[in-house]
Structure 1
Amino acid sequence: MKITNVLVYMLLLGCLISIGAQANDKSLSGTIVVVNKNDNTVNFIDLKSRQIKFTRETGKGPHELAMSAGGRLAVVTNYIGGNSLTVFDVQRARKLRTIDLSLYPRPHGVLFLKDQRKVVVSSEGSDSVVVVDITTGKIEKVLNTKQKGSHMVALPDSSSRVYTTNMGSDTVSELDVQSGALLQKISTPAIPEAITINKDGSELWVGSNEDGLVTVFDLKDGGIIKQWSGFSFPYRVLLTRDEQFAVIPDFKNNTLDVIDVSNKKKLHQVDFGWSTTPNGVAFYSDDRTVFMSANGKDKVIVVDIRSGETLFELPTGDGPDGIGYSSLVMQ
């Protein structure tokens, strides 16, 4: 091939790659909802325009957010001083109700149960998990973890069991959602916080802050499948819906690790630089684009997990943390 032809080919290839990248990051649509801890607010961000469209008040000290499966509802836990849940209609960016949890203070982790009507919420102040019907505001059940500092929650696809990291006891509690029974206490490395579980409930992923470890437990035989060191503060861990990848934002290292789930190998470590302080993560509908709240920058950073490339950033309020994605476009 002549040199001129090679140059033309390389130029065309570069243009195609550039066009593909632009199409990828320009074509995202839907709504990002992100909690601002220092503002006591949530932002509703339109992905097409990449702008905050609405800002709404929460209770005091909001931290975490759960998005319903269809993206219609978002539930915020008001952790420090709020002792409540705030329920939002995402498409209308409208507050629907506030649910009092004063008997179960410091609500933190929250996830929707399979019926999409109820949520499970960890109460750090009462060492329990409460089951709340968000349409009626009724507390339907209280599950005692019998451990200290119950902070985050994880659910398998069946949502028959709920798992909580207990930061004060260095354990995970496995609880039966229907009966409320404590099924087992799983010992973990010190100060477990981040947690997730795969769909069939066989692999439990736990991030421990004391020694910067992330451990994958085999719930079938009680053993350890894999453990990684080298983290400083593995703040969260989240699996893609097809369970091919996991992402782990590190609050103190200012990094995002991307892991191949099947062979348990790290694919990328994205370094965002000093004072980014990565927090919450949520996936776009393509399962390969992740939205990460950057607490230190007051932004959401959008990353292609296959390449580790930052696609663009979105504005937020002060101190973004919990985050969720909805395919619905605001009206």
Structure 2
Amino acid sequence: MRFRFVKGLAVLVLSVSSRVVAEEPAPSRTLLAISKTDHMLAILDPADLKVLARVPVGPDPHEVVASADGKTAYVSNTGGGFLHQIDVIDLTARKALSSLDTGPLIGPHGLAYVGGKLWFTAQGAKSVGRYDPASGRFDWALGTGQDRTHMIHVAADGKRIYTTNVGSDTVSILDNLLLQPSVPPTGVLPANAQAHMDWVQTLVPVVKASEGFDVSPDGRQLWTASPEGMLSVVDTAAGKAVATIHAELPGAHRLAFTPDGLRVLVVSVRTGEGVFVEVATHRVIKRLKVGRGAAMLMDPVGDRAFVSCTPDNDAAVVDLKTMEVARRLDVGGRPDGMAWAVRPPSR
């Protein structure tokens, strides 16, 4: 009789424990990381950096971004500029949904989620496109006319877009402006002529093959990284490059401003070296071994940076206080794009 009581108690405890685990709330913030060879999106708890789940993605995943409510992730499949697939992942159920066919906007790569819409570069189509999840439609596209339009940054109001055009050695600044009607040769405007919103492109020459870039927290500067080992500094208000920094970092691939805007971390996909550059002086203040970095993500609340070291098959966690690598993560073979998924606090 005693044995049966103990056994029954054990079953009861196990049952209660299972319910506690099942009902434990998911983290309000998760780290998303792509594995190219595993064709998986890893979802990690940022507190202990343990993988919570892995969700299948497409044939050539590169970049990832999450919706503003943290419920959906989007993964671009570039395929050398020939694929036309963006994966959609339900982050709550942790499962793949039907993917998006970008159609003629081939080679989707850079991603941004702003104003309730998904913005992306289509490097095979030399374009930027936009998808509206609410209507389920691609509702806008604009050609850059530049080769390999690759990475993207969209301003919070959706009125300005930055892209790097790797094959043309330029940065596109795309502004949605109120334009006055052009006066025809007759000097008389048509009766229905009126001011209208339209997109205007400013092309900024930068160092050869610049690919990775970031915009400063105050929005005043844009920095690019070139495999030549140099960085271009663009004055975003003036729309022109104002400085070139010789970082002596061959294979420089990605860079990011620290959350306080005081430093820029640059990593090389060729040598495995990284450098911290002081923004005010343009001076390299620290060199460190990171790993052959191919993507980067700053932690706005954790004083750390994550670097996907694709050729090294791991990710590095860099302590922004010590400016040293604190640990390494296994998020799958040939890791690449990373992003934060943040669920706003419930009201």
The TM-score range, normalised by the shorter chain, is: 0.7 to 0.9
Q: Distance in 1 between matches of 2:302 and 2:145?
A: 36
Contact 1:217–1:226 under 8 Å retained in 2? no
TM-score normalized by the length of structure 2 = 0.77
1:62-73 maps to which residues of 2 (within 5 A)? 62-69=61-68, 71-73=70-72
Aligned with residue 238 of structure 1, among 241, 256, 268: 256
Percent identical pairs in the alignment equals: 24
Aligned with residue 327 of structure 2, among 304, 312, 315: 312
Q: Distance in 2 between matches of 1:86 and 1:135?
A: 16
**CA drift at 1:121:** 0.5
Contact 2:206–2:241 under 8 Å retained in 1? no
Aligned with residue 280 of structure 1, among 289, 292, 295: 295
Contact 2:57–2:87 under 8 Å retained in 1? yes
Paired residue secondary structure (1:296): helix
Evaluate the alpha carbon distance shift between residue 72 and residue 29 of structure 1 in structure 2; reply closer, same or farther with a 3 A threshold. closer
TM-score normalized by the length of structure 1 = 0.81
Aligned with residue 227 of structure 1, among 218, 223, 245: 245
Q: Which residue of 2 aligns with 1:20?
A: none
Q: Distance in 1 between matches of 2:154 and 2:268?
A: 22
Q: Which residue of 2 aligns with 1:24?
A: none
Q: Which residue of 2 aligns with 1:76?
A: 75
Evaluate the alpha carbon distance shift between residue 69 and residue 301 of structure 1 in structure 2; reply closer, same or farther with a 3 A threshold. farther
Aligned with residue 193 of structure 1, among 201, 211, 216: 211
Provide, for residues 103-144 of structure 1, a one-character-per-residue CA deviation record: whole Å limited to 9, x for no partner.
11111111122x2x1122110111000011234431111011
Contact 2:31–2:43 under 8 Å retained in 1? yes
Contact 2:204–2:241 under 8 Å retained in 1? no
Q: Distance in 2 between matches of 1:88 and 1:34?
A: 13
Q: Which residue of 2 aligns with 1:208?
A: 226
Question: Number of paired residues?
Answer: 296
Listed as ranges, the gaps of 5+ residues in structure 2 are: 1-26, 178-196
Contact 1:99–1:137 under 8 Å retained in 2? no
Q: Which residue of 2 aligns with 1:8?
A: none
Q: Distance in 2 between matches of 1:186 and 1:180?
A: 20
Provide, for residues 30-84 of structure 1, a one-character-per-residue CA deviation record: whole Å limited to 9, x for no partner.
4221111222221112344533221111121010112345544322111116422
Listed as ranges, the gaps of 5+ residues in structure 1 are: 1-27
Paired residue secondary structure (2:311): coil
Q: Which residue of 2 aligns with 1:298?
A: 313
Evaluate the alpha carbon distance shift between residue 229 and residue 263 of structure 1 in structure 2; reply closer, same or farther with a 3 A threshold. closer
Q: Which residue of 2 aligns with 1:217?
A: 234
Deviates more, 1:284-293 or 1:162-171: 284-293
Say which one has the larger Rg: 2
RMSD over aligned Cα atoms = 2.5
Q: Distance in 2 between matches of 1:233 and 1:84?
A: 28
